[in-house]
Amino acid sequence: MRLHVTGATGYLGSELVRLRPDASTERVEIRDPNAVDELFSRLRPEVVIHTAYRQDGPDARGINVDGAENVARAAARLGARLVHLSTDVVFDGRKGAPYVEADEPSPVSKYGRTKAEAERRVAAASPGALIVRTSLIVGGAEPSKHELAACRPGTWFTNEIRSPVQVTDLARALLELAVLEVAGPLHVAGAEDVSRAELAELVTGRPVDSAEAPPTRPLDCRLDSSHARSLLRTRLRGVREVLG
Ligand SMILES: NC(=O)c1ccc[n+]([C@@H]2O[C@H](COP(=O)([O-])OP(=O)(O)OC[C@H]3O[C@@H](n4cnc5c(N)ncnc54)[C@H](OP(=O)(O)O)[C@@H]3O)[C@@H](O)[C@H]2O)c1
């Protein structure tokens, strides 16, 4: 299949390209719909994996929402399969149990709101798109931003729970899912749930300063990935196995 990866220089994007060196990676400004259309008309990808985003800053909404919609529209015009990357923080973290695909997004952070809106826009523009919600990405050849942060002085939250995923596991899963007939939201995260404080201890190998996070943050955003597991050959390892 002709594969195009957006955000190919990023943490996940570069792992996808390492696994699929034949993928096209040319970067255009995704907020520019004409640039995305021109690129896809020229490359004619059969599958697009859309990882490009910004976590924060003044451009985040335009990139995460309008950019994602532009990618989805351009892919749909060509009849290309779209795998769109989303996040566990489309949820508010107040359910008290792992989130399943049928749960309604209810973001409480600015970033989460952009990604939830992106999901809606992508689904409308490209109804066959697969929307992969994942958790903290860790464990590559280079440390991820979460691992780097854990090594800096700071206080880590004991009640902010995530299901971290190893970057190669996630990339392999995405490549498998790219050719399966599955659409809509799908949770693809690691097999173990840990707090931010536990994650920092796993990364550093020593106790860290910890505290409870304020309730305004997305606290318990565990993802239930059992549907993905039933579809995949790739094993989504737990974070203790990956970093322990
Ligand atoms: N990292 C995590 O722990 C995590 C957790 C949950 C979900 N996710 C999701 O996973 C995806 C990938 O995350 P990541 O951490 O691998 O990303 P990343 O390392 O921050 O890389 C982001 C990529 O997006 C590109 N990009 C940013 N703005 C762009 C624009 N306007 N036009 C074109 N390209 C642009 C960047 O290229 P330039 O540097 O050239 O701008 C870069 O290649 C995201 O959709 C994110 O929401 C990530």
- For every residue of 91-158, DSSP letters joined together read S-S-SSS-B-TTSPP---SHHHHHHHHHHHHHHHH-TT-EEEEE--EE-SSS--HHHHHHTSS-EEES
Range of the domain at 77: 3-243
pLDDT of residue 187: 98
For residues 195-215, average pLDDT: 95
Q: How many residues does the chain have?
A: 244
pLDDT of residue 201: 96
pLDDT of residue 244: 82
Tell which residue, 194, 207, 189, has the closest CA to residue 159. 194
- State the total domains in the chain: 1
Q: How many CA atoms lie within 13 A of 207 on its CB side?
A: 3
pLDDT of residue 130: 98
For residues 85-100, average pLDDT: 98
Supply the residue whose CA is at minimum distance from atom 26 of ligand 1.
52
The string of pLDDT tens digits covering residues 231-244 is 999 999 999 999 98
- 89's tokens: 């923080």
Please state the atom number of ligand 1 nearest to the C-alpha of residue 115: 47
Q: Is the dihedral of CA 130, 135, 137, 139 positive or negative?
A: negative
CATH code, 151: 3.40.50.720
Question: Do residues 157 and 213 make contact, with C-beta atoms less than 8 angstroms apart?
Answer: yes
The string of pLDDT tens digits covering residues 140-185 is 999 999 999 999 999 999 999 999 999 999 999 999 999 999 999 9
**Ligand 1: lining residues by beta carbon, under 6 Å:** 7, 9-13, 27, 29-31, 51-54, 63, 67, 85, 87, 115, 134-137, 146
Q: Which active-site residues does the annotation give?
A: 111
Please state the atom number of ligand 1 nearest to the C-alpha of residue 13: 16
Query: Is residue 33 scored above 90 in pLDDT?
Result: yes
- In angstroms, the CA 234 to CA 232 distance is 5
pLDDT of residue 212: 96
Query: 6 CA to middle of ligand 1, Å?
Result: 8
Pocket test for ligand 1, best of 5, 12, 119 (most atoms within 8 A of CB): 12
For residues 208-213, average pLDDT: 95
Supply the residue whose CA is at minimum distance from atom 37 of ligand 1.
7
Residue 86's DSSP bridge partners are 133
pLDDT of residue 115: 98
Q: What is the mean pLDDT of the chain?
A: 97
Q: What percent of the chain has pLDDT over 90?
A: 99
Tell which residue, 189, 186, 198, 195, has the closest CA to residue 166. 189
- 176's tokens: 């498998």
Query: 207 CA to middle of ligand 1, Å?
Result: 30
